[in-house]
Every structure is written in C-alpha cells, then in structure tokens.
Chain A
Amino acid sequence: MRIAVLSGKGGTGKTLVSVNLAVVAKKSIYIDCDVEEPNGHLFFKPMVTEEKEISMQIPKVDEAICNGCRKCVDFCKFNALAYIKGKIIVFDDVCHSCGGCMILCPQKAISGRNKSIGKIRAGSSDGVVVYTGILNTGEASGVPIIKELLSGIESEHNKTIFIDCPPGSACIVMESIKDADYCILVAEPTLFGVHNLNMVYELVKLFNKPFGAVLNKCLEGENPAEKFCIEKDIRILGKIPFDRQLGTLNSNAKIAVKENKKYEEQFSTLLDAIIKEAPYETATNT
C-alpha cells in the first residue's frame, strides 16, 4: 500500500508524520519525493547502498536537417526554444523535458541529449528502506527524479510505502501522489494553513484519491483547519498537539517515536486510523 503525505505549504509536518509513521509501521519503505529539499534522510541517517544519477532529455537540433519551420518553437509552452538567424537556440534551464519538440519535428531534426539533473539514493535504517530524491539546485523540474523514485518499487507489496511529498499542489506533487492508494493531508491550525489545506484538498479530489487529514500543532481553542475539515466532511485521522518536546526532538533530527513511548503510542494510533481508512483492495490491484 502506498500512502502519500502532502500539504499545501512547507513546514506543516509532512516529514514528521511520514518518518514517524514509517518507523511505527516497521516493515516499511520511506520515499522522500521532496526533491528540492529532501530532509527525511536527516532523521533516518540511512546506510546508503545505492546511488543513481538521473538525467533528462534536452533537445538537440541537427542544423543540417532543420529547415526552420519553427513548429518546435511555437509548440514549446515553456518557451525553451528560440529561432534566431536560421538557428534554433535551446534554453536548457527552461526546458521541462516534455519531449514534444522531438515528436513534432516534421524533419526529424531533433534528438535528445542527456542532461544530469540530480540523483536518487537508496539505503536502509533499522528495517526501514529509505529512498531519497535529490534535485540539483537551479533545475526547473524534479518530475523525472520522482518518476524514477516511484517506478522501481512496484514489486514490494508486503511493505507499506510512505511517500513524503513536496509542498504545494504543482506537477511534482501530482507525480508523487499519482499512484498512491491513500493520501494524508497535513494541516496547521491557522487561516493560512486552511488556505493551503484547501489547495491539496482540491488536488486529491481531482485525482479521486481516498484521503484524510492530520491536524498538526494543535492548540487549545479554535482550530480553523479542524473547522474546515468538519465543513468539508474530511476525515480527521489524528491530531498532534503543539508540543515543545516534540518540536525539539524533531529539530535535532531525532525520530520522536524512537525517543519516547508517548509519541510511539500517538503515531501507532494514527497508523491504525489510517489503515482502517485506507482501501486494501486497490493496493493489491496495483
């Protein structure tokens, strides 16, 4: 079963939730898809056993064949191509590697060339298999890295897979949740938090995924995120109180459930609630 953990903004507790759930789930796989700033490995400190370079295909134009029809320039919605003085100029940093220009070119003048954009690392930590995606600074899109991260793990059905998503609701998040069986939305108890919760709420609805919410940093009194969940009839899987001790453990890169029984119980209860909610059938069908 694949469980994706997401939120509309950074710092709500996606990594806290996914790392601690992966540990209490025991036989599990943790995949850090937050490739722009992967931090799950700071907690797991895994023994890295494998590293793989990830490249994407950038167009390469054969000037001898190109007849200057400009179909590729007009097609590119990322504006990565320009046609100047009879030559195509490719802007590598703007290219999203969609491959459209290569398919479209009537002269077949465009082929691909590899450009390294980052890497993935595999390792393990106390029985948890840890995968980390790392995007090189300045690259436009981490999608190819996420694709690679999620494609290699189809076979291990007996393990629960936790996907620590990037923040927001853009294409890298869509790629991360695409094949998830269940989504956990992590939310903060602020109005800003509600705005961001709404973004991922709309996303998981669009993708038709079963989902529930985890309310993090809960204080006494009114919780706008909880109110939002009740209004929208979103299943609240659990609440994590605003807790200085938990915050301190987390900011020292300690895995809370390993440090304190109290947190172990908290996250075990949360895991039970998720397992009860998540559809087993789809997991065996994928």
Chain B
Amino acid sequence: MRIAIPSDEKNIDSSICVSFGRTPYFLIYDTDTKIREFIDNSTAASSGGAGIKAAQILVDEKTDALITPRCGENAADVLKSADIKIYKSISSSIKDNIDAFVSGKLCLLDEIHPGFHGHRK
C-alpha cells in the first residue's frame, strides 16, 4: 500500500506539514516494500486550487492513502473520486504516524473544512 504524508522537510525526522495543498513535500511510503521517497509539491505556491492539484499529484503517484492533519473539500473530492482514503494524523512526527497507520491505529479524517481559498491561515 502506498501512503502519502505532507512533510515540512525532505527528511523522515521532520514534522508533518499542517497544510495539505501547500505542503512543500510529500513523503510517499510503500508499506509493503518499505521504500520511501520524497517528492516536491509543485503546486505549493500556486495562487489558487492548490488542494486540487496536490490531490492530483497523489492520484498520479498511485497512492492508496493520505495521512494529514486536515484537508479541504475540493482536495477531498479529488481524493474520494480516486478512492484514496484520508486518515487523520495523530502527532506531528512522520514516523509515529507511519507506525500508527501500519498497526491500524489511525482513524479516517471525518472533518473536511471548506477550504481557505487563497486566505492564509
């Protein structure tokens, strides 16, 4: 299973990014092969629709699940259409989240916010 986590740095010890659409990087982790890879989020600086594009990147990366502290509704629509499950992160540590995911302790994110649409939070 391929999981994606928004990350502040290209480093497994960095913290999970609070923004999904505007995260600088995504960690793509394959739970079967244990291979991990950081990819740039090319849409981080776009003026609008960042969540949609970031979700598209995850679709194209063929990920099965996303672990994130929060997610906007447009991005969630894209992810749902692609059957990518959205899980809520439990801490800021990427490692802890991966461990929790693997041991089945993460819950699905049920709170989808309406998006910030260009307004910084």
Contact of A73 among B48, B56, B82 (CB under 8 A): B56
How near does chain B come to A96, taking the closest CB pair, in angstroms? 8
Chain B residues with CB under 8 Å of A85's CB are 81-82
Residue A78 is within 8 A (CB to CB) of chain B in the complex: yes
Residues of A55-99 whose CB lies within 8 A of B = 73, 76-85, 87, 89, 91, 93-94
Residues of A87-119 whose CB lies within 8 A of B = 87, 89, 91, 93-94
Interchain CA distance A84-B82 in the complex, whole Å:
6
Interchain CA distance A130-B53 in the complex, whole Å:
42
Whether A82 and B46, one on each chain, are in contact in the complex, defined by CB atoms closer than 8 angstroms, is no
Chain A residue at smallest Cβ distance from B43: A79
Interchain CA distance A77-B48 in the complex, whole Å:
8
Contact of B48 among A81, A84, A87, A94 (CB under 8 A): A94
Contact of A91 among B47, B52, B59 (CB under 8 A): B52
Chain A residues with CB under 8 Å of B56's CB are 73, 79, 82-84
Whether A77 and B78, one on each chain, are in contact in the complex, defined by CB atoms closer than 8 angstroms, is no
Whether A80 and B49, one on each chain, are in contact in the complex, defined by CB atoms closer than 8 angstroms, is yes
Whether A84 and B78, one on each chain, are in contact in the complex, defined by CB atoms closer than 8 angstroms, is yes
Chain B residues with CB under 8 Å of A79's CB are 43, 46, 48-50, 52-53, 56
Question: What DSSP secondary structure best describes chain A's contact surface?
Answer: loop
How near does chain B come to A13, taking the closest CB pair, in angstroms? 26
Whether B49 and A94, one on each chain, are in contact in the complex, defined by CB atoms closer than 8 angstroms, is yes
With A79-B43, A91-B74, A94-B74 given, is the CB distance from A84 to B81 under 8 Å? yes
Chain A residues with CB under 8 Å of B43's CB are 79
Residue B27 is within 8 A (CB to CB) of chain A in the complex: no
Residue B37 is within 8 A (CB to CB) of chain A in the complex: no
Select the residue from B49, B56, B74, B77 with max chain A CB neighbours within 10 A.
Answer: B49
How near does chain A come to B61, taking the closest CB pair, in angstroms? 13
Chain A residues with CB under 8 Å of B77's CB are 89, 91
How near does chain B come to A73, taking the closest CB pair, in angstroms? 7
Select the residue from A76, A78, A81, A82 with max chain B CB neighbours within 10 A.
Answer: A82
Residues of B53-82 whose CB lies within 8 A of A = 53, 55-56, 59, 74, 77-78, 81-82
How near does chain B come to A112, taking the closest CB pair, in angstroms? 19
- Per-residue interface assignment for chain B, residues 30 to 55, with 1 indicating a CB less than 8 Å from any chain A CB and 0 otherwise: 00000000000001001111101101
**Residues of B at under 8 Å CB distance from A?**
43, 46-50, 52-53, 55-56, 59, 74, 77-78, 81-82
